[in-house]
Amino acid sequence: MARSFALFALVSTAPVVSSRCFPGDACWPTADTWSAFNVSLGGKLIANMPIAAVCHNSTFTPHDAAACTLPTNNSCNPFLDASAPCTMGNYPVYSVNATGAEDYQKTLAFAQEHNIRFVIRNTAADYNGKSSGAGSLALWTHHLKAKEMLDAYEFALAHDHVVVGANVPDIGLVGGYTQGAGTGPLGSRFGLGADQVLEWEAVLASGDFVVASPSSAEHADLYWALCGGGGGTYAAVLSATVKAHPPLGLSTANLTFALPVAVESPDAFWEAVRAFLQYSPAIGDAGAEAVWYAQGTAFNLATVFAPGFDKKTLDALMRPFLKTLDGLGLPYAYASEQHPGFLEGFLAQLATNVSNLNIGGRLIPRSLVESDGAAPLAAAIRNITSSGAIFSGVTFNVSSHAPESGVGANPYWREAVFSAVFGTFFDWTDWEANRRSADTITDDLVPQLELLTPGGAAYLNEYDFQQPDWETTLYGANWGKLSEVKMKYDPRGVFYALGAVESERWVEQHDGRLCGKA
């Protein structure tokens, strides 16, 4: 394939539109137009239907109670009566099952020609629906050579290497994960996912196919922005070439403790959590990563991933904290294991249970964990969980792994010691209850951590969708340069996603229609 070509040219003087065309509008393409588009794609166009359509009587498909499963927004909710309305809600109306650059180019061209909202959809794992959009045409990248995490881990190992990926196997590697920063079991050894990329292949809004690397004459800025500056913002990525590291072994550990029923005051429990927070930087500094949860008065250190450790070394790393628990008289369960290889050890871990939550998030700086023995932080976590929220942390040290060329990921990552995500489980039948708990997260819970981390940050893949000042919170000191890159490559806002750079130029109406701000 030619390194650079365009199937169409944009009329660059065309004005920025005020509003995207929406299903039902006169401008919406006719069935024949969609059909011709499908033919041009060799039949890869999919007319979407809500996953839960079978739960209802709708225009999509007849009601089929046996097949009724999962919801989207509240627009087609399987937990509500079959007579409740079933509409597309935030789902893209059509998807293109893309297999290469030409599909990308044709889809971008069609969306722009007809002024239709465009989204890029990979695994659709994004918490805040960045890969969805009402009335949109989706470029579905899932079947591309772009590999899923597990494929990538397996591929690397088959070639006697490891790559940096997520804590769970079902997150895409080249999509929102790496483009958004990317933490994982190898993070404290090798850095963020965004630190691993050597080169991106991408299709621009203009249709141009480009290769972006730190040394590319024209697109070093695009390379930089794609490395952690947010998915679905600057270009549609076809592939990423990432660093492969020599294989290394893996030991893992887990630990739970809870307040014994007979003990009335929870103080000993929270003293143990404080001690864990105070001890936790040692885990990242040693090259390990920890995934943990606190809910009520139960603490679950679900996994310590210790790449390159044998069991004895990992146990020695954890021993000082276990001694603290002994001293507090809190019963605990600790187990550790040395695995034959990285992938076996990785897959043996239980999947994290973090879906189905209204969430808020914050990056916690090392300075906070080190101040007053982490007591103010522990007190905030205690109060946050007292409202019924579950609080989780991913503890790491990625401070010294950024490539020399720099990356677009928020510089705050380098001073962070863990990424906090907390939230409350969805209520599947009472949507108003979800709104209230989302507002509690925004108005009461996130501010408690903001107060302790003024001028701080949140991970753009794991934050409260109502976060005020999200521009600086998510992108930090890189906001200005990221905005410049966005305006250079996509001045007309073809790529829109909630919380993406320059998305503040658009508003989503109640029905999901995207409108440009005057």
Ligand X SMILES: *[C@@H]1O[C@H](CO)[C@@H](O)[C@H](O)[C@H]1NC(C)=O
Ligand Y SMILES: Cc1cc2nc3c(=O)[nH]c(=O)nc-3n(C[C@H](O)[C@H](O)[C@H](O)COP(=O)(O)OP(=O)(O)OC[C@H]3O[C@@H](n4cnc5c(N)ncnc54)[C@H](O)[C@@H]3O)c2cc1C
Q: Per-residue string for binding with ligand Y, 181-200, x by CB under 6 A?
A: xxxx----------------
Member of 6, 46, 82, 168 binding ligand Y (CB under 6 A): 168
CB 163, CB 245: distance < 8 Å? yes
Q: Per-residue string for binding with ligand Y, 438-467, x by CB under 6 A?
A: -----------------------xx-----
**Stretches 118-126, 276-284, 315-323, 371-379: which one binds ligand Y (CB under 6 A)?**
118-126
> Which helix (H) or strand (E) covers residue 298, if one does?
strand 298-307
Q: Is 166 in the site for ligand Y (CB under 6 A)?
A: yes
The residue among 42 and 320 lying less far from ligand X, judged by its C-beta, is: 42
Cβ-in-10-Å burial (0-12, 13-18, 19+) of 518 comes to: exposed
Helix, strand, coil content of the chain in percent (nearest 5): 35, 20, 45
Q: What are phi and psi of 23, to 5 degrees?
A: -55, 135
Q: Mind giving me the DSSP string for 317-366?
A: HHHHHHHHHHHHT--EEEEEEEESSHHHHHHTSPPP---SEEEEEEEEEH
Cα(48)–Cα(40) distance, rounded to whole angstroms? Answer: 19
Q: Is 78 in the site for ligand Y (CB under 6 A)?
A: no
Q: Specify whether the backbone of 357 is left (phi greater than 0), alpha (psi in -120 to 50) or beta.
A: beta
Residue 75's CB is within 10 A of a number of other CB atoms, namely 18
Q: How far is the CB of 350 from ligand X (least distance, A)?
A: 5
Which residues, numbered 329-388, are part of the site for ligand Y (CB under 6 A)? 352, 354-355
Q: Is 141 in the site for ligand Y (CB under 6 A)?
A: yes
Q: How far is the CB of 212 from ligand X (least distance, A)?
A: 25
CA distances 159 to 145, 156, 162, Å, are 17, 5, 9
The residue among 179 and 278 lying less far from ligand Y, judged by its C-beta, is: 179
Cα(240)–Cα(211) distance, rounded to whole angstroms? Answer: 10
Q: How far is the CB of 171 from ligand Y (least distance, A)?
A: 5
Member of 130, 189, 366, 486 binding ligand Y (CB under 6 A): 130
Length of the chain: 518
The residue among 143 and 159 lying less far from ligand X, judged by its C-beta, is: 143
- Name the 3-class secondary structure at 475: helix
CB 139, CB 118: distance < 8 Å? yes
Which of ligand Y, ligand X, none lies near 374, with the C-beta cut-off 5 to 8 A by kind? none
Q: What are phi and psi of 46, to 5 degrees?
A: -115, 125
**Stretches 53-61, 87-95, 121-129, 333-341: which one binds ligand Y (CB under 6 A)?**
121-129
Which of ligand Y, ligand X, none lies near 134, with the C-beta cut-off 5 to 8 A by kind? ligand X
CB 437, CB 358: distance < 8 Å? yes
Nearest of 223, 137, 248, 151 to residue 403 by alpha carbon: 223
Q: How far is the CB of 9 from ligand X (least distance, A)?
A: 27
Which of ligand Y, ligand X, none lies near 450, with the C-beta cut-off 5 to 8 A by kind? none
Member of 111, 330, 497, 514 binding ligand Y (CB under 6 A): 497
The residue among 98 and 485 lying less far from ligand X, judged by its C-beta, is: 98
The residue among 22 and 177 lying less far from ligand Y, judged by its C-beta, is: 177
The number of C-alpha atoms within 13 Å of 498 and in the hemisphere containing its C-beta is 21
Which of ligand Y, ligand X, none lies near 278, with the C-beta cut-off 5 to 8 A by kind? none
Which of ligand Y, ligand X, none lies near 448, with the C-beta cut-off 5 to 8 A by kind? ligand X
**Stretches 63-71, 116-124, 433-441, 509-517: which one binds ligand Y (CB under 6 A)?**
116-124
The residue among 113 and 430 lying less far from ligand X, judged by its C-beta, is: 430
Which of ligand Y, ligand X, none lies near 285, with the C-beta cut-off 5 to 8 A by kind? ligand X
Which residues, numbered 205-244, are part of the site for ligand Y (CB under 6 A)? 231-232, 236-237
Where helices occur in 91-216 by DSSP H, the ranges are 101-113, 149-158, 176-180, 187-190
Cα(96)–Cα(104) distance, rounded to whole angstroms? Answer: 9
Binding site for ligand X (CB under 6 A): 38, 43, 45-47, 57, 63, 73-75, 82-83, 89-90, 97, 99, 134, 143, 252, 254, 281, 284-285, 335, 337, 350, 353, 366, 383, 387, 397, 399, 415, 417, 425, 431, 444, 448, 510-512
Q: Is 172 in the site for ligand Y (CB under 6 A)?
A: yes
CB 100, CB 6: distance < 8 Å? no
Which of ligand X, ligand Y, none lies near 307, with the C-beta cut-off 5 to 8 A by kind? none
In the bound complex, which residue of the shown chain has the CB atom lying closest to ligand X?
Answer: 43
CA distances 246 to 118, 126, 190, 343, 344, Å, are 39, 30, 11, 13, 16
Q: How far is the CB of 351 from ligand Y (least distance, A)?
A: 7
Please, what's the b/e burial string for 322-358 (b: 16 or more CB within 10 A of its CB; e: otherwise)?
eebbeebebebebebebbeebbebbeebeeeebeebb
Q: Is 180 in the site for ligand Y (CB under 6 A)?
A: yes
Which of ligand Y, ligand X, none lies near 128, with the C-beta cut-off 5 to 8 A by kind? none
Question: How many helices (H) and strands (E) are present in the chain, helices listed first?
Answer: 16, 16
Q: Is 121 in the site for ligand Y (CB under 6 A)?
A: yes
Q: Specify whether the backbone of 406 is left (phi greater than 0), alpha (psi in -120 to 50) or beta.
A: left
Contact residues for ligand Y, defined by CB under 6 A? 119-127, 130-131, 141, 166-168, 171-172, 174-177, 179-184, 231-232, 236-237, 352, 354-355, 461-462, 497
